[in-house]
Amino acid sequence: MRYVIADIEATGLSSDREMIELALITYEDGKVTDVFETLINPLVPISKFISELTTIQQRELEVAPKFYEIAERVAMRLEGAVFVSHKVAFDWPMLQKAFTELGRPLKCKTLCTLELSQNMIPGLKSYALEDLCKFFHLQIRERHRALPDAQMALALFKELRELATGKGISKPRYLPQHESILKKIPRKAGVLYLKDEKGISFHIEAAADLLMLAQTLLQVKPENRAILERCETVEFEVTGSELMAQFKKARFFPLNWHWMITLTEHEGEKSLVVKPYVAHTALWVFHNRREAEEALKGILKKLPQNKMLWQEGGKTKKEVLEHNRQIDELIRETQFPCDNLLFWGPGPTNEEYSYMLVRGGKLWGMGVDKRRPEEVLQNPESAVKKKADKRLELLAIRYLREHRERRIKLESWRELKEVTC
């Protein structure tokens, strides 16, 4: 593919504007193969404003070639190529008009780096050529002259191609207004609040690493478009514990669970089944049915398998009681490890601890305290001030189950043996 990156300086912005300078840079197979630059006599005087803006003097234009004198050289470069410029809607109509007036309309594929930038870098405050070059840390050349502007447009075009393909990019890119924000976010667990221009939180996430999450959400890439176009500021709340962050998020943000594993009983025999989510009957909760069914398969594998495929008369009463005992034991094992537990982990600051208390197999509450676990152990309820509801209990069970099954320890929550059952 042959690209011709162009820039045109004109007598003004009106529809009857005329060209006064043209630059064409031919870019093919990853290298510049031709550069063409010329002043053009517009056959009309230019204003003082245009002269000062471009530094082009009227006397220079009076001795410059007229367009029909260079038309063949321009057409030779454009035919069969893709015309690229920063704001094609301004540049291309002037060339089309000039060739049409000569009786030889020119057809050419076009590509606008302005529109491409708006599509690929959502949320940028300005898409002016100079501001885009600043975003990509490109050299800013003399402005409002055709060749320097075309050279900047070419550099921008290369960056946009790399951004589109992901090739040659050494590090993630962020919008200027987000770069300063990211420098303030710590690598600690907590809750991240993305806010719009009115200061309203539109995206809330709990994370084990606030900075890593913010970098992922704010990286310039197409899948982050909705966030980048809307996000003006980012606030965060350090909890020190990912589970505590999940608790905080859940208190004002709906939990999107739709399916559950629950316990049913038919003719005295207990079984675990997947059903739509109902909080008060849920044992384990899931975002979708497939996730729930896969989890149930894994749970049932822990039950002793019946060696007989068929048994006349069904299970005996003794077998049913044993089966129910195994189901009850399995439920206990895959919820909280024990009926009475105190877990602790990092707190919002280095001097604080996060605590979570389980009593009677139920989540009693959670809290933050400066006292060390050895002191809290004497009276666990004194460090846990926030009462828990069923939703938070299910959240805690899900969190602990996932970490235990995946063998991932993102934080140092531990069981205190002294308060176990």
pLDDT tens digits in sequence order for the chain, 421 residues long: 899 999 999 999 998 899 999 999 999 999 999 999 999 999 999 999 999 999 999 999 999 999 999 999 999 999 999 999 999 999 999 999 999 999 999 889 999 999 999 988 888 889 999 999 988 888 887 778 999 999 999 999 999 988 887 665 567 889 988 988 999 999 999 999 999 999 999 999 999 999 999 999 999 887 898 999 999 999 999 999 888 998 888 877 767 789 999 999 988 899 999 999 988 888 888 989 999 999 899 888 888 765 545 555 567 888 889 889 999 888 877 778 777 888 888 899 999 999 999 888 888 999 999 999 888 888 888 998 877 788 888 888 888 777 665 434 444 455 555 444 3
- Which pLDDT score, from 0 to 100, does residue 421 have? 37
pLDDT computed for residue 169 by the predictor: 59
Q: State how beta strands 82-85 and 2-10 pair.
A: parallel
Q: How high is the pLDDT of residue 407?
A: 39
Is there a domain that residue 251 lies in? no
Distance CA 107, CA 289 (A): 54
Q: For residues 224 and 142, state if they share a domain.
A: no
Which residues neighbour 409 within 8 Å (Cβ) at sequence distance 6 or greater? 403
CATH number for the domain spanning 212: value is 3.40.1440.10
Give residue 145's pLDDT: 92
Same domain? For 185 and 218 the reply is yes
Smallest CA-to-CA distance from 189 within 210, 216, 213, 204 is with: 210
Domain shared by 191 and 160, yes or no:
no
Give the CATH number of the domain where residue 46 resides.
3.30.420.10
Contact 154, 32 (CB under 8 A): yes
354 with 213, same domain?
no
Residue 336 lies in a domain: no
Count helices and strands (H / E) in the chain: 15, 16
On the CB side of 352, CA atoms within 13 Å amount to 14
- Please indicate, yes or no, whether residues 111 and 204 belong to a single structural domain of this protein: no
Q: How far is Cα 233 from Cα 196, in angstroms, rounded to an integer? A: 7
pLDDT given at position 254: 67
Gap between the Cα atoms of 232 and 201, Å rounded:
10
- Which of 140, 165, 190 is the last residue before a domain boundary? 165
Which domain does 394 fall in, by range? 341-419
Instruction: Decide if 52 is inside a domain.
Output: yes
Residue found by looking up tokens 């076009």 in the block: 110
Last residue of a domain, one of 331, 359, 375: 331
46 and 109 both lie in a single domain: yes
Give the Cα separation of 238 and 257 in Å (integer): 25
Q: 150 and 8 in one domain? A: yes
pLDDT at res. 311: 53
**Shared-domain flag, residues 135 and 224:** no
Cβ neighbour number for residue 408 with a 10 Å cutoff: 10
* 257 close to 285: Cβ distance less than 8 angstroms: yes
Residues 324 and 318: their CA atoms lie apart, in Å, by: 10
Does one domain contain both 19 and 155? yes
Task: Look at residue 253 and tell me if it is in a domain.
Answer: no
In this structure, the answer to whether residues 59 and 23 fall within a common structural domain is yes
Q: Identify whether 247 is part of a domain.
A: no
Q: Exposure string (b/e) for 371-392, b if CB count within 10 Å is 16 or more?
A: eebeebbeebeebbeeebeebb
Tokens of 332: 């206990």
How far is the C-alpha of 246 from the C-alpha of 250, rounded, in Å?
6
Tokens describing residue 145: 């002259």
Please report whether residue 193 resides in a domain.
yes
Q: What is the pTM of this model?
A: 0.72
Scanning the structure block, which residue is given the tokens 């070419």?
A: 154
Residues 110 and 145 in one domain: yes
Q: Are 72 and 133 found together in one domain?
A: yes
Give domain status of residue 370, yes or no. yes
Overall number of domains in the chain: 4
pLDDT given for residue 420 in this prediction: 41
- Is 246 a member of any domain? no
Last residue of a domain, one of 331, 350, 374: 331
- Is the separation of the CB atoms in 59 and 85 below 8 Å? no
